[in-house]
Copies of this chain bind each other. A is one copy, B any other.
Amino acid sequence: MEGTGSMYQVKATVLFNEKAGKAHYRMKLEVSQIAKDARPGQFVHIRCSSGDDPLLRRPFSIHKCAQGRIDILYQVVGRGTAILSKKRRGDQLDLLGPLGKGFEIDSAFSKIFIISGGMGVAPLYMVAQEITRLGQGKEVTVLLGAKNKELILDKDDLESLGLRVMIATEDGSEGYQGLVSDLFERLISSQTSLSLAVYSCGPVSMLKKIAELSSHQGFFCQVSLEQRMGCGLGACLGCVIRGTSGYLRVCKEGPVFDAQEILWDDPGLEIK
């Protein structure tokens, strides 16, 4: 299991916070303790306001991590993220991390798909990076899906890791026209699954589709899931989703789960 080390509470300094799309931002934070231990798929829990509006922290995947710094890639969807988007260089943020269980990246797999829907790329960049680091002749494909081409994030960064990146847009404005899960289905239709590993993050409907393929075809598949969070530390039991073996805490047993552990029909998986 990845990420059972220490957790830290730190005052992180904002190094930059810049627009990365219509409502998307990248923020780089100076936060050496967390960066030291962070594994792909783990997250940080950020206090957006020093007052009580909003009251709770907000969880964000660790998008990049290097030299004592981490990046988060986030979308403004409500009050917490709106406040974050106003932070400037030099501002301080209270962070907990690294939290949760990350992806299992095993050198045994020779063929790997990294599949992102929308913001799902946030925890996947580090997966791609880690796999590249493991190196030696793997066949790695990154599939990036989004509504339209403006919402495709990180394509260049992923390509500069030397990976094959394919795009799917629902409106066909770039790459394959349709859902990224359909693109994936086409690509693997005629393939053997034993040495195949899939790492994915995105909307529940998309992950569910991929999970079904994984259960039919028997390939290894891990997904990163979301749930509203309280403590982020496993204490409050607030962030559960339904697994085959009972309720699972997204902040502790997850956010990365084997696709087969999850009861994909549970309505509680949809947050909004």
Which B residues are in CB contact (< 8 Å) with A79?
Answer: 51
* Complex interface bits, A59-79 against B, C-beta within 8 A gives 1, otherwise 0: 000000000000000000001
Q: Which residues, 122 to 153 on A, are CB-close (under 8 Å) to B?
A: none
* Interface check A266, CB cutoff 8 A: no
**Distance of A93 from chain B, by nearest CB (Å):** 16
Where chain A touches its partner, the secondary structure class is loop
Please give the count of copies of this chain that the complex contains.
Answer: 2
Residue of B nearest to A79 (CB): B51
* Interface check A53, CB cutoff 8 A: yes
Residue of B nearest to A52 (CB): B53
* Interface check A260, CB cutoff 8 A: no
* Complex interface bits, A79-110 against B, C-beta within 8 A gives 1, otherwise 0: 10000000000000000000000000000000
* Interface check A49, CB cutoff 8 A: yes
Residue of B nearest to A53 (CB): B53
* Complex interface bits, A36-66 against B, C-beta within 8 A gives 1, otherwise 0: 0000000000000101110000000000000
Q: For chain A, which range describes its interface: under 10, 10 to 19, 20 to 34, or 35 or more residues?
A: under 10
Residue of B nearest to A83 (CB): B51
Which B residues are in CB contact (< 8 Å) with A49?
Answer: 53
**Distance of A226 from chain B, by nearest CB (Å):** 24
**Distance of A184 from chain B, by nearest CB (Å):** 41
A53 to B50 Cα, complex, angstroms: 10
Which B residues are in CB contact (< 8 Å) with A53?
Answer: 49, 51-53
Residue of B nearest to A54 (CB): B51
Q: Which residues, 171 to 195 on A, are CB-close (under 8 Å) to B?
A: none
A159 to B53 Cα, complex, angstroms: 44
A226 to B36 Cα, complex, angstroms: 53
Pick from A49, A53, A79 the residue with the most CB of B within 10 Å: A53
A51 to B53 Cα, complex, angstroms: 7
A51 to B52 Cα, complex, angstroms: 10
A49 to B52 Cα, complex, angstroms: 12
Which B residues are in CB contact (< 8 Å) with A51?
Answer: 53, 79
**Distance of A263 from chain B, by nearest CB (Å):** 37
Residue of B nearest to A49 (CB): B53
A79 to B52 Cα, complex, angstroms: 11
Ordered by A's residue number, 5 sampled pairs between the chains whose C-beta atoms are within 8 Å are: A49-B53, A51-B53, A51-B79, A52-B53, A53-B53
A-B pairs, top 5 by smallest CB distance, nearest first, are A53-B53, A51-B53, A52-B53, A51-B79, A49-B53
